[in-house]
Structure 1
């Protein structure tokens, strides 16, 4: 579905510019990239912090419907990467919302709420989601203030406009470790089961934080996806980034290109992926025949073309008819071997040299088409309409296969008709061509260009670095799979222009067992109109965890009773006292 126009309009009304001071210090980025490898592994990350990490309670308040507790603690990232976090952001501030009375004694669920872009302080999350969840399902809540937001916002920062790209990475690192501190604290205080959620950026931060908790954890990320790279390079947010500053700094300081660019990994590469359809050139002539039969109207308009070649199943006869139609000159001068492959009627794989040959021949065909001005206007309209019918199933590879064959088999006039029918305009066909320097890479076709407005090589290179940096630090493939994926319910908007999903890895593939629900809405409309759905998804996920939690409590209780009984029997055998007295001594 097309991206939401409301998202674009809403973003255009906001004047905030992001990353006005550039990428951040190269040495700081290097430290972040290196520490990411430690933090993204659940085994290592969960052991970084003590279970009794110090937390200070600063305020307690009883209201008519709940108890509100406020506290703070030093963000653990400052201990591991000192000097990266602004002074104002070093203390993590949180607010806890608890019901006056829990619905069940052994069931005290707590959900951690992380902030989306622009969500400063606690008011919005407390009143729009935390309190309603407490009234509807008896869920407690912890609302954590983001670094660079609210009480943690640097004095020289305007609103939510982060100064450096590195700030968003620092924010993510802080939230991952701070969430772990709060989970350990809740467990120590006897709360559970535990969960985490967030909207937009908060949803993605929640996903990252959930990967490092070594126990079952409810996770409900809303309006986010598998990586943040598409948000900053393709979504409407990309128009709010100071690209001129980033490009200038990227090429002015060689460290970005020489060292840092080699440290990042692009998981879903769009530059390569969108142009390797010919690497998988396995469409059979039988499939092509079936496709052409479906385009009856096109066939009638192109009756001058002898389609008997397509219908012929005998490769030798097909080759002969091809040469009859194309003439002795063989317009595109295809090699005998390549020609035999194209007309073999079998599934094929082309070599790199044959791919190059096809590319060159198609380029020649394009030049010829561009020079031909004799195409009738009405014919053009008909074939363009028919081309849309052919392409609407998204099978670009099939269309390109036909384009290759039809460009070869056509005469001057018929070439123009049939090629136009398959949408062989220069702009669209060039998206299918394979750059020679990329032929050795085997990547399935996925995402389109990063940004069609970026045409210069230096602009593309800085965009590529942005994608690599974001994939390196935010792509879920670079983090551990959550402990129990059955407790994950992700809610996404189908028409989301803030968080493009095309070409990105699917959550279901990265986290087998996770559930993804889709809304027929854009990013902004989903946030405004579907708060109730977000809450119901959180409640449902906690209901799933309730059974597991209570069963675990029963097992722990049974294990404790067995231990007490065993100790009592040993004590009684030695001292002749009753088990009752033994229990008193143990406690």
Structure 2
């Protein structure tokens, strides 16, 4: 099966813009990893948002074919992980588009979560919500993502999340915010309810439905079982998983991350590669931008020793011995560190976002996954299939790649 060249180009452009400040604060990461364990279990997560969680309507606008309600509420994430969200993201905002008339006594509503770069409501309202009213008299609720639109931090450029931790905050917040909205819709007499999303929105919708305690129709479009772009089983991937699983050991101990911050230098404010051997330690230290290809560029001997400590297998270049270290050229050492740091990051991201680490939805037979045959933006090779994780779900394929489907196949998604 071929791959889309457009997807490959877009992915390369995108990867150069994300996470320009590195991982985020170590103490924030620790709290997020602990919170991930809470929302990974539906029995625990369903009690985090009460059925009467307050939601407020700010404005109602009557239009020729529909009625548009704008509303807001405080993100439940702000209660459970205080001060983790930027102040601009604390207030969750949404828009509910309902038809003037319903086809039956039921009032079906689909919640649409935003994909990458989908700020505000215009795209989802124009390409999905309004056509769904015209075609099926189905209402749509559009939730604005944290870090997007009115919830975007002032110092963030477009959709470029500054830290890896921002992605984890976004995911956790959307799970709880979706629960708050589902409870509110039920209180208001709407139903049946369902969820969907395209690309990142589809993945976030999958996590939200995994935590909803009732059967829920779900249509994730152009997403897969994990948010990590490339899935690998190398030593660094295992390190990333262990990094999350071992810290913290106690569920109630949100104390220090000394080992993490000391050994992995998670706070990348310095962003300097420091090589210890004297023949390579030059006065002009090499500064590397903390993009997704350089998030954990560490002191070479430190990284290599840590790799050997946590990994049962040694890679061809990792060794704490100075002799083997000197055999590598400066460029080889730098390339090796970049590869290890990137794979390590993906291991951590996979541990935090893989749907297999969350509960199986109550009724997987209500799930239809829509995939692009030539998707090169979210590779599926080597990744556990959603059919394996969610037995009974249906997978449908459409022609083309990720980007072309995102731009031109909205009608098929509906």
Check 1:43–1:247 CA distance in 2 against 1; reply closer, same or farther (3 A cut): same
Deviation at 1:503, TM superposition (A): 0.3
Give me the whole-angstrom Cα distance separating, in 2, the residues matched to 1:241 and 1:137.
47
Aligned to 1:512: 391
- Kindly state the Cα deviation for residue 473 of structure 1 after the two structures are TM-superposed: 1.3
1:545 alignment counterpart: none
- 2:23 and 2:163 in contact (8 A); partners too: yes
Inter-partner Cα distance in structure 2 for 1:528 and 1:241? 30
Whether the 8 Å CA contact 1:148–1:154 is kept in 2: the answer is yes
Partner of 1:30: 30
Are 2:295 and 2:345, in contact at CA under 8 Å, matched by a contact in 1?
Answer: no
Residue in structure 1 matched with residue 246 of structure 2 by the alignment = none
Aligned to 1:46: 46
| CA offsets 1:434-474 (integer angstroms, 9 cap, x no match) | 979xxxxxxxxxxxxxxxx9984432331232122111111
Query: Which residue does the alignment assign to 2:110?
Result: 111
* 1:15–1:26 Cα change, 3 Å: closer
The answer on whether the counterparts of 1:111 and 1:141 sit within 8 Å (CA) in structure 2 is yes
Quote the Cα distance in structure 2 between the aligned partners of 1:137 and 1:484.
24
Following superposition, the deviation at residue 495 of structure 1 comes to 1.1
Query: Judging changes above 3 Å, is the alpha-carbon distance between structure 1 residues 531 and 456 closer, same or farther for their aligned structure 2 residues?
Result: same
More strand by share: 2
Cα distance in 2 for partners of 1:173, 1:227 equals 14
The CA distance in 2 between the partners of 1:4 and 1:23, in whole Å, is: 30
Q: TM-score, normalised by structure 1?
A: 0.55
Q: Does the 8 Å CA contact 2:294/2:342 hold for their aligned counterparts?
A: no
Contact 1:16 1:161 in 2 (8 A): no
Paired residue secondary structure (1:247): coil
Matches within 5 A, 1:160-559: 160-230=159-229, 242-243=291-292, 245-248=294-297, 456-535=335-414
SS at match of 1:517: strand
Q: Distance between the aligned counterparts of 1:208 and 1:463, measured in 2?
A: 24
C-alpha contact 1:20 1:245 (8 A) present in aligned 2: no
- Listed as ranges, the gaps of 5+ residues in structure 1 are 235-239, 263-268, 273-433, 437-452, 536-587
Other structure's SS at 2:295 match: helix
State how far apart, in whole Å, the 1-side matches of 2:78 and 2:230 are: 27
Does structure 2 conserve the Cα–Cα contact (< 8 Å) formed by 1:226 and 1:507? yes
CA distance in 2: counterparts of 1:507 and 1:34, whole angstroms: 25
**3-state SS of 2:23 partner:** coil
C-alpha contact 1:52 1:184 (8 A) present in aligned 2: yes
Is the alpha carbon distance of 1:496 and 1:455 closer, same or farther for their aligned partners in structure 2, counting shifts above 3 Å? farther
Q: Deviations over 1:99-151 (max 9, x none)?
A: 1111111x111100000000000000001001111111111110000000000
Deviation at 1:174, TM superposition (A): 0.5
Cα deviation digits, residues 150-181 of structure 1 (max 9, x gap): 00000000000100000000000000000000
Any gaps of 5 or more consecutive residues in structure 2? 234-288, 317-331
Q: What does the per-residue CA deviation read over 1:32-74, in whole Å, with 9 as the maximum and x for residues that have no partner?
A: 1111111111111011111111111111011000000010011
Structure 1 residue 5 and structure 2 residue 54: aligned?
no
Cα distance, 1:11 vs structure 2: 4.5
SS in 1 for 2:296: helix
Determine the C-alpha separation between the residues in 1 that align with 2:403 and 2:184. 34
CA RMSD between the two structures: 2.9
Partner of 1:440: none
- State how many pairs are aligned: 341
Q: Write the distance in 2 (CA, Å) between the matches of 1:126 and 1:454.
A: 49
Q: Spell out, residue by residue over 1:395-421, the C-alpha distance to the aligned partner (whole angstroms, 9 max, x if none).
A: xxxxxxxxxxxxxxxxxxxxxxxxxxx
Bigger CA radius of gyration: 1
More helix by share: 1
Q: Give the direction of change, closer, same or farther, for the CA distance of 1:501–1:251 in structure 2 (3 Å limit).
A: farther
SS of residue matched to 2:2: coil
Query: Conserved in 1, the CA contact under 8 Å of 2:102 and 2:137?
Result: yes
**Conserved in 1, the CA contact under 8 Å of 2:293 and 2:341?**
no
Match of 1:17 in 2: 17
State how far apart, in whole Å, the 1-side matches of 2:9 and 2:357 are.
33
Query: Distance in 2 between the 1:14 and 1:170 partners?
Result: 20
Q: Distance in 1 between matches of 2:13 and 2:348?
A: 28
Change over 3 Å in CA distance of 1:511–1:21 after alignment to 2:
same
What residue is the counterpart of 2:136 in the other structure?
137
Q: 1:119 to 1:37 in 2, by over 3 A?
A: same
State yes or no: 1:87 paired with 2:87.
Answer: yes
Would the alpha carbon gap of residues 241 and 225 (structure 1) be closer, same or farther in structure 2, given more than 3 Å must change?
Answer: farther
Q: Secondary structure at the match of 1:166?
A: helix
Q: Is the 8 A contact 2:98 2:139 kept in 1?
A: yes
